[in-house]
Structures are given as C-alpha cells and as structure tokens.
Amino acid sequence: MSTAVETFEPAKPGSITRMEGRVVVTPLEMLDRATAQNAPVEILERLMALHERYEANRARQAFDAALASAKAEIPVILKNRTVDFTSQKGRTNYRHEDLAEIARTIDPILAKHGLSYRFRTKTEGGTATVTCIVSHRDGHSEENTLSAGHDNSGNKNSIQAVGSAITYLQRYTLKASLGLSASDDDDGKTTEPEVKVISHEQAEEIRDLIGKTSSNIDVFLKALKVESVADIPAKEYFRVIGMFTEKMKRVPQP
C-alpha cells in the first residue's frame, strides 16, 4: 500500500487526488470504504495509523513550503540597540537587534504564510532555558532550545538578571529557528566593537560536543575562521551550541 506523493498539493480531507492521470485514494477515503464494508477492527486501526502518518507528512511539507516562502520575503533585520559598558573584565561594546525589532519585521510575513511562534521558558538553579516553537496552521511545528546562565552583567538585580537572559535566549532561539540575519544601521559610525571570546568552560563544552558528534575539528574551525576553539567569538557561542545540539539528535544512541 503506497502513500507516496510526488508533488505536494494540499487536499481536503477525504478527497481523491489525481496524479499524472491516475486517481490516488487518500488513507481517509480508504478508511471510509473499509468502515462501510464492516472491515475488521485490525484493518481499521492500520488504516487510521496510515491516515495519521499521511496527514503528518502533508503538514510537514506545508510547513517547509511556508517557511521557505516566508524566509524569501524577510529582509535583513536592523540592529537598533547599542550595548556599551565597562566592567572588571574590560569594555563591552556591541550592537544588536532587540526582540521587538525582530517581531516588527517578521510577524506580518510569518502570518501571511500561516506561521507563528511562541516561547517556553524554564529556570533552574542559575540557568535559564528557552524553547522557541515555530508552528504552521496545518499542525506541524518545530522547536529550538538554548540555555544560558543568568545575566549578571551591569548592576542588574536577580529578577533583571533572569529576565535579561530569557530575552537574550528568545532572540537567539527565534533567529536560529528561522535562519535570520541582522545588519548594523548606516549611521556613519566607524568604531569597531571589542571582540570577546568564549570562556574556558564554554570552550570545553564545545570540545566535548565535537567529540560526541565525531565532527572534524579542522573543518569546524575553518568555517568559523578561527585558529582554535578558545578563539571562538562569544557572540557565536549560542549558534555553535545550537548547531551541535541539532547534530546530536542525528547521532545513533548506543
């Protein structure tokens, strides 16, 4: 019994699809016929499972098509915020796009293609975890999760430290989920931000993931344009962790 669909064209439930001169009966149509013929329960259960897989596959294809169309329309997002402060570790100076600017840019385009997103957050100990869930109106959704310690930079109190970390992770999980890019505004400023690298603990975490995923470290470092793991810019940390997290999902479990 084949349910292969050569080209995706959303069909109404229970409809009959025509492909290359052939009539392809959907699993729901087959289930209706089996029910009308008083088929055994075992046959009905198998057809119901087939129908569920068929619908899940259709929903995934619709999600992929909608996301591709949306990404083709989403422009480069403007970095509209500046962070500039000095601590015991030195001066921190960089520009970034806040969550409101990202939402203002992408929300109308995502809605046009039946896409939406939401966040699930969790704090445990000194760690905040944020999961971005991107969903399509046909039912398929995909998730991207990142974790980080509370943001104790500046003069933040404990609540602000948690909120800052969550907002930061919301931006990065959303950008990672949609493959977004950002660009500085053209305000004529020529000051280059100080390049900060990852911490020793973060470098050890990345080395561990390289080993667990059997990744080629030379290819990895060349892609990031750095000479060693310790030279990875701090701003790339979450993107790298997200990349290895996805790769870990494909590693066969013992």
Q: Are residues 185 and 103 in the same domain?
A: yes
Is this model's pTM higher than 0.75 or not? no
Q: Are residues 78 and 66 in the same domain?
A: no
- Number of domains composing the chain: 3
Of 151, 172, 194, the residue at which a domain comes to its end is: 194
In a domain, 7, yes or no: no
Distance CA 234, CA 33 (A): 60
CA distances from 236 to 99, 121, 190, 203, 225 (A): 18, 22, 22, 12, 12
Q: Are residues 81 and 162 in the same domain?
A: yes
Distance CA 103, CA 63 (A): 19
pLDDT in tens, the chain (254 residues): 444 443 334 444 444 454 455 666 676 777 777 787 777 878 777 878 887 888 888 899 999 999 999 999 998 888 888 777 666 666 767 777 889 999 999 999 999 999 999 999 999 988 999 999 999 999 999 999 999 888 877 677 888 889 989 998 999 999 989 988 766 543 333 334 445 888 888 888 898 888 888 889 888 888 888 888 888 888 888 889 888 888 877 766 55
Q: Are residues 81 and 158 in the same domain?
A: yes
- The pairing of strands 22-25 and 81-87 is unpaired
Residue labelled with tokens 């899940």: 56
Q: Are residues 253 and 218 in the same domain?
A: yes
Closest to 136 (Cα-Cα) out of 113, 105, 106: 113
**Where in the sequence is the domain holding 53, given as residue range(s)?**
16-72
Q: Are residues 127 and 212 in the same domain?
A: no
In a domain, 150, yes or no: yes
In a domain, 4, yes or no: no
Q: Which domain CATH number covers 168? A: 3.30.160
Q: Are residues 143 and 184 in the same domain?
A: yes
